[in-house]
Chain A
Amino acid sequence: MASKKIQIISPFSVIVRKEMADHIRSWRFIVLMGLIILTFVASMYVSLSNIRAAIGNANDPDHTFLYLKLLTTTDNSIPPFHVFLSFLAPLLGISLGFDAINAEQNNGTLTRLMAQPIYRDNLLLAKFVSALIMVGALFLVLTLLMIGGGLILTGVRMEPQELLRILGFILISITYVGFWLSLSIVLSIKFRQAATSALTAIGIWLFFTVFYQIIVNLIIRSFLPDPSFLTQDQIQFYNEFILDLLRIAPNQLYTDATTTLLMPSVRSLGPMTMQQMAGAIPSPLPFRESLMIVWPQVSGLIGATVACFALSYYLFMRREIRS
C-alpha cells in the first residue's frame, strides 16, 4: 500500500529536514562556515599567487595538474587547504554533534519526540545524516567554486583524473568530519551536560592532534635500541611500527589519504627500500593506484566512524528517556 509506505519513510526525512533547517539558522553553523570559507579563500589566494612558479617547475612530476596544485601549493606562509582542514574538520564535526541528544533531553523535547511513533535509531541517524549533508554541501560548493574560478582565471582544461581526485578528497573529508560527528554524538548521549561533552570531544581532538605524536615518540624512544646497532631491515621494521602507531590517530589517516590523493606522485605512505625505489620513474600515479594506496586509511576512517555510531546505538536504544 502506497500510503503505508509513506508512513514508514517519512518520519526520518521529517527529522532530517527539521535538523537541517535548525543548522542553517543556527549561529554556530554560520560561524563555522565563515571560518572554513575564510581559510579556503586565504589558501586559494596564496596558491593562486604561487601557481605560476608551481606549474613552471619541471622537476615536480605533478606540475601538470593545475587544479590539484591550486589545492596544495603554498609559499609556506600558511598551510595548504587540506592541512588546514585536518584541523578544522574535527571542530566542524564536534560542534555539529556535541549537543545532539543531551540538548534535546535537557529541553524536555526528547521525551516528547520519543512519545511519537518513530524509531529511536531514526533520531540518531537523522542527526548524523543532516549534519553530514550540510558539511558535504559546504565542501562541494567550495571546491566547485574553486574549479570554476580556476577555469575562468587560467582557461586550462581539467583532466578527468583531477576531478576524480578532488571528488575523492571531498569524500574523504566528509568521512573525516563524519568520524568526529559520530564521536561527538556518542559523547552527547553519554554526558547529560552539553558543555561536558563538548569539552571531552575537544580534549580527544587535542590529544590526537598535539599530544599523541609526542607521547608515541617519548615511549618509542625509551624502548628503541640504538639505531647504530640495528640492521637495515630492523630499522625499516621500527619505522613501519612507529608509523602504524601514529596511524591510530584519525588526523594522521586523513592527512595520509588526502596527501596521496592530491599529490599523484606520492607512491607510498611508508618508508621504501632502495630495491623498491630502484628503477622507479618520478611520475604521477594513475588515480586507481593512488586510491589503492589510501584505501587502508579510508577504510580505517570509515571503520572508526561506524564503530562510534554503533556505540551510540548501543547507548541510546535501551536507555530510559526521562527529563
Chain B
Amino acid sequence: MKDPIIKLRDLTKCYGSQRAVDNLNLDINKGEIFGLLGPNGAGKTTTILMMLGLTDPTNGSAFVCGYNATSDPISVKRKVGYMPDSLGFYDHMTALENLIYIARLNGLPGKGNRTRALEIMDIVGLSSSMHKKTSTFSRGMKQRLGLADVLIKQPDVIILDEPTLGIDPSGVREFLLLLKRLSKEQGLTVLLSSHHLHHVQQVCDRVGIFVKGKLLAQGNIDTLSGDLFNHKGHVVSISLSEFISGPWLPEHELAQWETIKNININQNTIEFECTQNITPALVRFLVEKGYDIISVHQKNYGLDDIYQKYFENDN
C-alpha cells in the first residue's frame, strides 16, 4: 500500500464559533483525480488554503507530499501547483511575461525558462495570443493561462479551486479533457473543487462530497450510486396511454412479486421500486395485460441524485 500523497488528519478550521471545516480526514493517492464536491461556502476553499499553508488550521494537520503544510509551506508549494478560484494576472504584462515571472519565482534556471514557457503555452493552447496583455484575456483564456502557471513549475500535485467557474460548456469540456490527459501523461495528482456535479463526473476518479465542513461520503461515482441503490433500490416508471382512476386491478397481482417493494400510481404513471432490475418483466406483464405503454424510464443515479440525497439529509 502506497503512502497517500495528500493526507489530511482531523483538519479543523474555526472562524469564531463557526466551524468552516470540521474534523476532515482524507487520503488522496498519487495519480488520482479527486473531486471535492460541495455547495458554495462548504469550506472547500478553506481546506485547500490549509493544504497550502496559506491558512493555519485550528486543529489537525495536512500533509502534502510528505511535508506538513502548516510548518513547512515552502516545501509544499514547491511540489504543488495551485490555481485559485479568482485568477488574477499582472495586467500590464503579456501572458508570456506573467508565465516567465512565475517560473523565475520557482527558481527554475533562467535559460530554459523561455522554451519551457513556450512549450506550455502550446499545451494549453495559448500560443497564438501569448504576446497579448492579459488585460485583454477572456475568462477562458485566463483559466488556461492559470493552468499554464500551474504546469510550469512541474508540480507533483495540482490543486484547482473551481476551475470550471465562468467558462462556457464547450470550454469546460475542453479544459477538463486537457486536465485528464495531462494527469494521465505526467502522472499528476489532481484535486479539484467544484459545485458543478457534471464537470466533476466527467473526469474524476474519486469524489468527496463536502457539506458544511464535513466530508459526507467519498468514493468513485459507482460506489456512491451503489450506496444509493441499496438505500432506495431500482426505480422504474412506466407511463400508460390512459389515465388510471380508482383501484388499478393488476396492482394486487404485482404486489405478489417478491422483487417489488413499492408501487406508486400518479395519473397515468406508475412508479415501481424494486430490489432488482426487472424492467423487461414489468413491460412484458403490462403488454400482456393489454396496456398501451408510451414510455418506460429506468432511473439511473447520477451525481445529481447523489448530491441531492446528501443535501436532503443535511437540510
Contact = CB atoms under 8 A, between A and B. Distances in A.
Interface of A: 6-7, 10-11, 14-15, 18, 22, 25, 104, 107-119, 318, 320-323
Contact of A108 (B77, B84, B101): B84
Contacts of B78: 117
B92 A115 contact: no
Given A7-B107, A14-B104, A119-B74, A108 B56 contact: no
A321 to B, nearest CB: 5
B90 interface: yes
B82 A115 contact: yes
B88 A108 contact: yes
Contacts of A322: 45, 49
Contact of A111 (B84, B92, B101): B84
Nearest to A320: B55
B105 A116 contact: yes
Given A7-B107, A119-B74, A321 B89 contact: no
B49 to A, nearest CB: 7
A320 B153 CA distance: 23
Contacts of B82: 111-112, 115
Given A22-B90, A112-B102, 17 more contacts: A11-B107, A14-B105, A15-B105, A22-B92, A108-B88, A109-B88, A109-B90, A112-B89, A113-B105, A114-B54, A115-B54, A117-B75, A117-B106, A117-B107, A118-B105, A321-B55, A322-B49
Contacts of B77: 115-118
Give the top 7 A-B pairs by smallest Cβ distance, nearest first: A108-B88, A7-B107, A115-B82, A107-B88, A117-B77, A111-B84, A117-B78
A114 B52 CA distance: 9
B97 to A, nearest CB: 9
Contacts, number: 79
B177 interface: no
Interface in B91-105: 91-92, 101-102, 104-105
A11 B107 CA distance: 7
A318 B52 CA distance: 13
Nearest to B107: A7
A16 to B, nearest CB: 12
Nearest to B142: A108
Nearest to A114: B54
Given A7-B107, A10-B107, A18-B101, A115 B56 contact: no
A116 B102 contact: yes
B88 A323 contact: yes
A260 to B, nearest CB: 43
Nearest to B75: A117
B87 interface: yes
Interface in B60-89: 74-75, 77-78, 80-82, 84-89
B135 to A, nearest CB: 10
A321 B86 CA distance: 12
B297 to A, nearest CB: 44
B149 interface: yes
A323 B86 contact: yes
A323 B84 contact: yes
A14 B101 contact: yes
Given A115-B82, A115-B84, A116-B102, A6 B45 contact: no
Most chain B CB within a 10 A radius of its CB, from A108, A321, A323:
A108
Contacts of B52: 115
Given A114-B54, A320-B55, A323-B84, A107 B91 contact: yes
30 contacts: A6-B107, A10-B107, A14-B101, A14-B105, A25-B92, A104-B88, A107-B89, A107-B90, A108-B86, A108-B87, A108-B88, A111-B54, A112-B82, A112-B84, A112-B87, A112-B88, A112-B89, A115-B54, A115-B80, A115-B82, A115-B84, A116-B102, A116-B106, A117-B75, A117-B107, A119-B74, A318-B56, A321-B49, A323-B86, A323-B88
Contacts of A111: 54, 82, 84, 86, 88
B101 A320 contact: no
A7 B77 CA distance: 14
Nearest to B85: A323
Contacts of B102: 112, 116
A256 to B, nearest CB: 40
A17 to B, nearest CB: 9
Interface in B257-284: none
Contacts of B107: 6-7, 10-11, 117
A302 to B, nearest CB: 30
Nearest to B89: A109
A197 B49 CA distance: 27
Nearest to B15: A320
Nearest to A21: B93
A6 B110 CA distance: 11
Contacts of A114: 54
A44 B74 CA distance: 51
A313 to B, nearest CB: 16
A110 B54 CA distance: 11
A108 B149 CA distance: 14
Contacts of B146: 112
B67 to A, nearest CB: 11
A35 B80 CA distance: 46
Contacts of A25: 92
Nearest to B101: A18
Nearest to A7: B107
B54 A321 contact: yes
A322 B84 CA distance: 9
Given A109-B90, A117-B74, A320-B49, A10 B104 contact: yes
A113 B90 CA distance: 11
A110 B52 CA distance: 14
Contacts of B74: 117-119
B248 to A, nearest CB: 58
